[in-house]
């Protein structure tokens, strides 16, 4: 859950938060695809799509992995300077980011499933959206991992509004590691981490020791530090 006014997404780990995000208001849009998050005329990097001043390309750490990663990113997250998905996309060679909030069933089915791949949704088994029983069935690689990049409330809404998502076997991470995100987020819950960290931990779970996330996590740490440094002089709190 993102804190109101903070704007960076996190990934729920094992349970729902006690309260919901007050920032989750407004009409839902209905578009998909990777869009330019910055207005025309503003100098942006053509690769990471961020303003040149905050280009993340130099931080990218190409990371070998065999699991396909699909990130369904809420449109609100695409515009957040603190969002971790851009660095994730630049670093995971077999990843795809699709921006949208509501997806037509046929389009979503095409996104979720690939021949020969077992799709898993990175999402906890929560009372508001119980995991299907199929989650208990062990399956083998290769995997296609689906990740929702949104605030807790918006990710839950995306899940509940798309039966195809809710029906996917889940991958739930139940051993939260300390998050690097704390430096640029306020009032963090111990069971929430950034989307990048959650995805990295999921890949480590699926792929085992052959997946080396250390360089990417190191780069993420530097990204968090740079964001914190940019905001600290302006508001004096270290938080955006």
List residues near Zn ion by CB under 5 A.
45, 47-48, 55, 57
Contacts 24+ apart (CB under 8 A), 208-217: 211/63, 211/64, 211/65, 212/63, 212/64, 213/63, 215/61, 215/63, 216/61, 216/63, 216/87, 216/88, 216/91, 217/180
Shortest Cβ 49–Zn ion spacing (Å):
7
Shortest Cβ 157–Zn ion spacing (Å):
31
Q: Which is nearer to Zn ion, 55 or 183 (CB)?
A: 55
**What distance in Å separates the CA atoms of residue 86 and residue 69, rounded to the nearest whole number?**
13
Q: Which is nearer to Zn ion, 60 or 69 (CB)?
A: 60
Shortest Cβ 73–Zn ion spacing (Å):
17
What residue number has its CB nearest to Zn ion? 45
Q: Which is nearer to Zn ion, 49 or 98 (CB)?
A: 49
Q: Which is nearer to Zn ion, 57 or 167 (CB)?
A: 57
Q: Is the peptide bond before 142 cis (omega within 30 degrees of 0)?
A: yes
Shortest Cβ 90–Zn ion spacing (Å):
8
- Sign of the CA dihedral running 42, 81, 6, 70: positive
């Amino acid at each position: 859950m993102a804190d109101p006014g903070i704007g960076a997404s996190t990934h729920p780990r094992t349970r729902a938060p006690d309260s919901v995000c007050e920032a989750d208001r407004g009409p839902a849009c209905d578009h998909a695809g990777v869009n330019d998050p910055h207005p025309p005329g503003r100098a942006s990097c053509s690769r990471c799509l961020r303003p040149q001043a905050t280009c993340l390309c130099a931080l990218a750490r190409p990371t070998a992995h065999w699991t396909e990663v699909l990130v369904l990113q809420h449109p609100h997250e695409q515009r957040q300077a603190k969002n971790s998905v851009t660095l994730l996309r630049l670093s995971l060679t077999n990843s795809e980011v699709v921006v949208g909030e509501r997806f037509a069933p046929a389009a979503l089915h095409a996104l979720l499933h690939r021949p020969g791949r077992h799709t898993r949704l990175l999402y906890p088994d929560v009372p508001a959206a119980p995991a299907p029983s199929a989650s208990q069935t062990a399956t083998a690689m290769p995997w296609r991992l689906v990740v929702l990049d949104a605030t807790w409330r918006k990710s839950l809404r995306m899940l509940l509004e798309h039966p195809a998502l809710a029906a996917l076997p889940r991958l739930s991470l139940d051993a939260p590691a300390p998050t690097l995100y704390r430096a640029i987020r306020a009032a963090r819950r111990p069971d929430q981490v950034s989307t990048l960290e959650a995805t990295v931990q999921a890949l480590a779970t699926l792929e085992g020791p052959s997946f080396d996330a250390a360089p990417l996590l190191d780069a993420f740490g530097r990204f968090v530090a740079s964001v914190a440094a940019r905001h600290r002089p302006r508001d004096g709190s270290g938080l955006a």
